[in-house]
Amino acid sequence: MAHDPSSAPRAENAVPGGGKTGTSLSNVFSSTNTSLATISFQPRSNATTTAPTIKARLAEAPVFVPRSATGTPTPTPAQAAGLPATAATTTHPAASSSTPGSSAMPAQAVGGGSAAPASHAAMYTENPGAYGSYVSSYDPYASYEPRVEEVAVRHPLQYHLCAPPFPHVSNFHPTHLAAMTFFMDPELHEELHRKQEALYATAPPTSMSEAGSTRTLPESLHVYHNLVALEPGETSMPSSLLHHRFHAQSTKHLTGAAGDPSRVFGYPTHVYKATCALDGKCYVLRRLEGFHPQQTAAMSAAERWRKIRHPSLVAVREAFTTRAFGDHSVVFVYDYHPLATTLYMEHMTVKPLQPDRRTGRLQPVSMHVPERVLWSYACQLAGLLRVVHKAGLAVRCLEPSKVLRTAQHRVRLNGCAIFDVLFYQPQTPPDALVAQQQDDIQALGRLLLSTGCNNVAAAQGEEAITASLETFQQRYGTKLTAFLKQLLSSESHTHINDVLTELAPYLADEQSSTLNHADMLEASLMRELENGRLVRLLCKLNALQESDHTNTESGERYVIRLFRDMVFHAVDEHGRPAMDLSHVLVHLNKLDAGVDEKMMLTSRDELNCVLVSYADVKKYVEAAYAELVRP
């Protein structure tokens, strides 16, 4: 592409030997922008040059002159001593001429200062007595402040800095610590993405062949809309709503088909995910088909459960009746925990083969539940029973299919308040409440026994419990077996506080594990705290690009334009676009940090080039953006 001579100003320097004058490639800044260094290329001269009195490498080195806040150059020690101006600005000829094999740089291009003198004696030719006064008044250890009074600028906190890991995170295994120091745990990252996908999952479109046999869901129900089935049945279920470890299995025998009578509640049940129009959050709607309460006050029983908040409880939000499905139904609303499984799915169904991490071969998944996990389940559920019993209620639904596993060894009880509505009593007799609470404790023992034996029928009936305890004793220790026998005993009326007393040593272990997990999550949060800083920087660059309608090759906007071309319009040696994400991220991170590292910015026609630091470009971006948003 032809270069327009008028597009960039030219500077001519004298070439020794009477050669032709050299033309610089770039002079893009005005005299006020002295913080940048422009590179001036000079053609080699064939004329013989006189050797300088000192080495050319030293003579051609520019002198660094500090800049003040207002652009006034800082006085040198010679100026502070009262030397003549001519003595302070004498320039050696080698500083303004080019030698073979070298390119001269004008002194005015570097900080606006002067070049180095040829010798110390040449500085005092006009005033011989100045040297003595300079030596007597100059202190080599004193700092010479600029004449103009500077005001300290208070900069905001550098949010771009990466915080080091917490000291207590080093308690983890060394193989895990190296990756956790820089990145979020990959498994946690993937799990959060899958849960986010489940939150935004929608019902798949229904084909024409299925339209006649599939019952459509109502568009809205009470204050909820976008209903999506969480169980297979008459309506199709999105695969993203099921945990990826169970995709290879039949979903019907894992969760039960929608519309089948519930083994726990006795009524046909349907479970949906819906979005609330009041707060925009997702909730679970559990519908009991064909139930109509005899008393209108029965729905108030769910209000007592709304006041209970516990980390091991799926919170109850509300309950209401509806005829939107063509029958009398009651709907219970719970918090939605995406990708949650049940203890029945985790420990009582045979899982498909999983690839080994080392060899990649498919290996069977062990069904054995570690003893530490059973103690953890007991601690979490016993703490929930204590809160529920203290409120004068009983859960009455402690079953493997109603205990959700929302994270690694993290359980929550689901389906509460349903029995309180189905068998509503205005005032529960004290004896009946004590019996229900005692049955909750025995149900906890049956749940742990079924989980340890990997069989839901292991705790159904006295004979099955006796046989299962013998098998359980062969797998686990005596303390856990004795604890289960105490829970399952129908003769001893065990209080929930007595159960917690037995669990005291394991509650301490559970607390330690919980605190370690909280530390790990906090460390991951620290690494993701300022993950939007590059987005803010890109927004500023794009806003400046759209508002820059000038085509001048000077000024701060031109530097920003050259930087944007270097980052986003890089090409390879063949002229093809080089799409390298690491190249973009490295330069944007340095720009956001404002490092003092210098870089060479070249125009697209390769005729103009600028030597500038990332700190200067950041200053230009902030100034241009402040000017843009100024009212």
The mean per-residue pLDDT over the stretch 90-108 comes to: 40
Q: Is residue 450 part of a domain?
A: yes
Rounded (10°) CA dihedral 353, 356, 357, 359: -150
The mean per-residue pLDDT over the stretch 580-591 comes to: 88
- Confidence class of residue 69 from pLDDT cuts 50, 70 and 90? very low
- Confidence class of residue 206 from pLDDT cuts 50, 70 and 90? low
What are the binding residues?
Answer: 286, 335-342, 401-402
Question: Is residue 430 packed enough to be buried (19+ CB in 10 Å), middle (13-18) or exposed (0-12)?
Answer: exposed
Give the model's pLDDT for residue 182. 55
25 and 61 co-located in one domain = yes
Question: Is residue 151 packed enough to be buried (19+ CB in 10 Å), middle (13-18) or exposed (0-12)?
Answer: exposed
- Confidence class of residue 181 from pLDDT cuts 50, 70 and 90? low
Reported as a single tens digit per residue, the pLDDT across 286-313 is 999 989 888 888 998 999 999 999 999 9
Give the model's pLDDT for residue 316. 96
Q: What share of the chain has pLDDT > 70, as a percent?
A: 65
The better pLDDT of the pair 499, 19 is held by 499
Q: What share of the chain has pLDDT > 90, as a percent?
A: 41
In whole angstroms, give the CA distance from residue 145 to residue 152.
14
DSSP, res 50: P
- Confidence class of residue 54 from pLDDT cuts 50, 70 and 90? very low
In whole angstroms, give the CA distance from residue 413 to residue 599.
60
In whole angstroms, give the CA distance from residue 460 to residue 447.
10
pLDDT over 60 (residue 116): no
Please state, in angstroms and as integers, the Cα–Cα distance from residue 382 to each residue in 391, 392, 398, 526, following that order: 14, 15, 11, 33
Output the average pLDDT for the chain. Answer: 76
The better pLDDT of the pair 3, 552 is held by 552
The mean per-residue pLDDT over the stretch 562-586 comes to: 87
How much is the pTM?
Answer: 0.65
Lowest mean pLDDT among 55-64, 277-286, 406-415, 435-444: 55-64
508 and 542 co-located in one domain = no
Give the model's pLDDT for residue 183. 64
Q: Is residue 548 part of a domain?
A: yes
380 and 487 co-located in one domain = yes
Taking each continuous run of H as one helix and of E as one strand, the counts in the chain are 21, 16
Q: Is residue 189 part of a domain?
A: no
Q: Is residue 438 part of a domain?
A: yes
In whole angstroms, give the CA distance from residue 100 to residue 115.
19
234 and 339 co-located in one domain = yes
432 and 495 co-located in one domain = yes
Last residue of a domain, one of 466, 498, 528: 528
Q: Is residue 211 part of a domain?
A: no
Lowest mean pLDDT among 128-132, 284-288, 342-346, 470-474: 128-132
Give the model's pLDDT for residue 247. 65
563 and 622 co-located in one domain = yes
Q: Tokens at residue 588, please? A: 């944007």
pLDDT over 50 (residue 84): no
Q: Under DSSP, is residue 598 helix (H, G, I), strand (E, B) or coil?
A: strand
Give the model's pLDDT for residue 2. 45
230 and 323 co-located in one domain = yes
Ranges 213-227, 371-385, 543-557, most confident: 371-385
Q: Is residue 210 part of a domain?
A: no
Beta bridge partners of 289: 329
Q: How many CA atoms lie within 13 A of 369 on its CB side?
A: 24
Last residue of a domain, one of 477, 508, 528: 528
The mean per-residue pLDDT over the stretch 433-437 comes to: 94
In whole angstroms, give the CA distance from residue 408 to residue 413.
15
Q: Under DSSP, is residue 313 helix (H, G, I), strand (E, B) or coil?
A: strand
Q: Is residue 356 part of a domain?
A: no
The mean per-residue pLDDT over the stretch 498-507 comes to: 95
Ranges 191-195, 318-322, 361-365, 603-607, most confident: 318-322
pLDDT over 70 (residue 132): no
Q: Is residue 567 part of a domain?
A: yes
What's the domain count of the chain? 4
Give the model's pLDDT for residue 67. 52
Give the model's pLDDT for residue 468. 95
Domain hosting 339: range is 198-204+216-348
pLDDT over 90 (residue 37): no
Give the model's pLDDT for residue 232. 75
The mean per-residue pLDDT over the stretch 25-29 comes to: 41
The better pLDDT of the pair 64, 631 is held by 631
The mean per-residue pLDDT over the stretch 544-557 comes to: 75
Lowest mean pLDDT among 251-255, 488-492, 556-560: 251-255
pLDDT over 60 (residue 614): yes
Q: What is the CATH number of the domain that holds 582?
A: 1.10.287.3700
DSSP, res 406: E
Give the model's pLDDT for residue 470. 94
Ranges 109-113, 163-167, 287-291, 374-378, most confident: 374-378
Give the model's pLDDT for residue 165. 52
259 and 287 co-located in one domain = yes
The better pLDDT of the pair 143, 605 is held by 605
Q: Tokens at residue 429, please? A: 């007799």
What are the binding residues for ATP?
Answer: 286, 335-342, 401-402
Last residue of a domain, one of 528, 562, 584: 528
pLDDT over 50 (residue 184): yes
- Give residue 450's Cα distance to chain centre: 39
Lowest mean pLDDT among 100-109, 243-252, 535-544, 616-625: 100-109
338 and 381 co-located in one domain = no
- Confidence class of residue 523 from pLDDT cuts 50, 70 and 90? confident
Q: What is the CATH number of the domain that holds 478?
A: 1.10.510.10
pLDDT over 50 (residue 73): no
Lowest mean pLDDT among 47-56, 162-171, 405-414, 488-497: 47-56
- Confidence class of residue 241 from pLDDT cuts 50, 70 and 90? confident
472 and 556 co-located in one domain = no
Residue 310 · residue 395 · CB < 8 Å: no
229 and 249 co-located in one domain = yes
Give the model's pLDDT for residue 186. 77
115 and 226 co-located in one domain = no
pLDDT over 50 (residue 283): yes
The better pLDDT of the pair 521, 107 is held by 521
Give the model's pLDDT for residue 258. 58
